[in-house]
Amino acid sequence: MELRQLRYFVAVVEEANFTRAATALHVAQPGVSAQIRQLEREFGQPLLDRSGRTVTTTEVGEAVLPYARAALAAVEGMRQTVDEFTGLVRGHVTLGLVSGAATEEYDMATLLADFHDEHPQVEISLIEDTSERMLTALRRGELDLAVVGLADDDSPPNINLEILIDTPLVAAMAPDDPLLLPGRTALPLTALADRPLISLPRGTDIRDVLERACRQAGFQPRVAFEAAAPTLLARFAARGLGVAILREDPPEAAAALGLRTLPLTSPALRGRIALAWPAGGPTGPAAKAVLSRMRKGIPQAR
């Protein structure tokens, strides 16, 4: 019996399909089939029922499955223990990102690149999704870490948070927009009630904050354009397609596009992005190392 046979067996059970299991394992499908047949010959019993549209375990296969998983977990535990003694960090980390999370203030690209240079044995997968779905995935163990948007001050259950970015939201518009009245230095939220707005998609912190505040002010925001990239929203606004709701940018960034920005008031709105991880903490050394590096990269002045 070989460990790879157990690994192939568990993968086929989890995927309920030989082809999908082979893809997940990055091996050829015939090799998976051959190794499992060899394992079955060694046991003298079929472990998988291949007669249906999906592959299922036989009674014997179901009985031995927990032992196969325990054997693989034991080997991984041994590897991690040795790595801790040698100072080597390796493994796979799945990191979720909400749209608009990459900013100059928190330079995630440089941070992850520097981490990779130091720990080349760690593979990092990036997944972009809404904050709500990523928080659920963290609780289920489908994500190791996530960068999520927060619409309020309440902490999600069973999740640890550390704020990365907390900035005011502004209304950005073309210089000839009628909202830019002489002497106006701020914009009440109700002034946007009948205006086409440009925003990040639903599920992002800015969009959630905007929609909640508008409902409390007694109107439904009229979002005419949405995109995942804040720079694209700013370009739409510069062409006069509507008022973009953005995080407060440096004055030179707005000036480069010819935009004028006004802080939103009544109420003042803020966009908050946080680093999130399960309350019990990441389980593997690779995820722990990535979390530590990301926390060290948090801007000190927010």
What integer pLDDT is reported at residue 249 of this predicted model? 65
Instruction: Specify the CATH number for 3-86; select among 1.10.10.10, 1.10.3720.10, 3.40.190.80, 1.10.640.10.
Output: 1.10.10.10
Question: Mean pLDDT over residues 251-257, rounded?
Answer: 68
Single out the residue of 55, 19, 60 nearest to residue 42, CA to CA.
60
Q: Examine domains 3-86 and 165-271 and report if their fold is the same.
A: no
Residue 261, pLDDT above cutoff 60: yes
pLDDT bin (cut points 50, 70, 90) of residue 65 is very high
What integer pLDDT is reported at residue 103 of this predicted model? 58
Task: Domain ranges for the chain, please list them.
Answer: 3-86, 93-163+273-296, 165-271
pLDDT bin (cut points 50, 70, 90) of residue 302 is very low
Mean pLDDT of all residues belonging to the chain: 86
Residues in the chain: 302
What integer pLDDT is reported at residue 26 of this predicted model? 87
Instruction: Report which residue type is found at 60.
Output: V
For residue 146, list its beta bridge partners: 96, 276
**Distance, CA of 126 to CA of 257 (rounded, Å):** 30
The tens digit of pLDDT for each residue in 99-110 reads 766 655 677 888
pLDDT bin (cut points 50, 70, 90) of residue 230 is confident
Residue 85, pLDDT above cutoff 60: no
Residue 276, pLDDT above cutoff 70: yes
**Distance, CA of 193 to CA of 264 (rounded, Å):** 13
What integer pLDDT is reported at residue 258 of this predicted model? 86
What integer pLDDT is reported at residue 8 of this predicted model? 94
What kind of fold does domain 165-271 have according to CATH? D-Maltodextrin-Binding Protein; domain 2 (3.40.190)
What integer pLDDT is reported at residue 191 of this predicted model? 94
- The answer to whether domain 93-163+273-296 has CATH 3.40.190.10 is yes
Percent residues over pLDDT 70 in the chain: 90
Look at 94-108, 174-188, 272-286 and tell me which has the smallest mean pLDDT: 94-108
More confident residue, 205 or 50: 50
**Distance, CA of 170 to CA of 233 (rounded, Å):** 12
Question: Mean pLDDT over residues 169-178, rounded?
Answer: 92
Q: How far is CA 42 from the centre of its chain?
A: 43
E strands, 81-200, are 91-97, 122-128, 145-150, 159-173, 187-188, 196-199
